[in-house]
Chain A
Amino acid sequence: AQSVSQHNHHVILSEAASLELGCNYSYGGTVNLFWYVQYPGQHLQLLLKYFSGDPLVKGIKGFEAEFIKSKFSFNLRKPSVQWSDTAEYFCAVTKRVRNTGNQFYFGTGTSLTVIP
């Protein structure tokens, strides 16, 4: 069965600290990878995505993620966090197989609290 693991459930950082959130998935085929963010009281929104090409992808608000195929990982990074980054972060994976539809597998989320 598919699974997406986010190993950090709760992360607390001070402003200006660097962030790295881990994400590993179990599917061995070709995948599309996503990071979504849910700010308090707001919709889930896309931070960044990887379909193919350069494994280092840049997203909104200074976030980036690196796809390492050999490690089945897609870790999210930000060099210097701000208080406004306080949110819940979800990693998601879809299998890239023709005609299988759109089943997204989400991790359980990482709650990030940034202390001013």
Chain B
Amino acid sequence: KAGVTQTPRYLIKTRGQQVTLSCSPISGHRSVSWYQQTPGQGLQFLFEYFSETQRNKGNFPGRFSGRQFSNSRSEMNVSTLELGDSALYLCASSSTSANEQFFGPGTRLTVL
């Protein structure tokens, strides 16, 4: 099976812009979660989607949003970018609740 894929792998944006990141889960996986990884903070949970519905949400401002499509692919959007949004954004998929998560390579976002 192909693994979790994320596009793009690298992004450079300026403050105030918006960005959309994409994630394709492993075939058959219906749960997709997004994380922000920064040095010293570890992985911070953003949200989880299951069957096109947001099932869990972390403690991030409303500038961070996401959606999931009927084929389980997911997108994450960040509006009005701030310098502090620079991070590695990871997507993970799993087949059932609380099961093992499989991670993608991440999208490295740099905000200038």
Mark A residues whose CB is within 8 Å of B: 32, 34, 36, 43-46, 49, 90, 92, 94-96, 98-109
Contacts and interface: CB of A to CB of B under 8 A. Distances in A.
Contacts of A99: 97
B45 interface: yes
Contact of A102 (B41, B90, B98): B98
Contacts of B106: 43
A108 B40 contact: yes
B42 A107 contact: yes
Contacts of B31: 101-102
B89 interface: no
Main secondary structure of the interface of A (DSSP, over half): strand
Main secondary structure of the interface of B (DSSP, over half): strand
Nearest to B35: A106
Among A32, A46, A101, A103, the most chain B Cβ lie within 10 Å of the Cβ of A101
11 contacts: A43-B104, A43-B106, A44-B103, A90-B42, A100-B97, A102-B31, A102-B50, A102-B56, A104-B45, A106-B43, A108-B42
Nearest to B98: A94
A104 B100 CA distance: 10
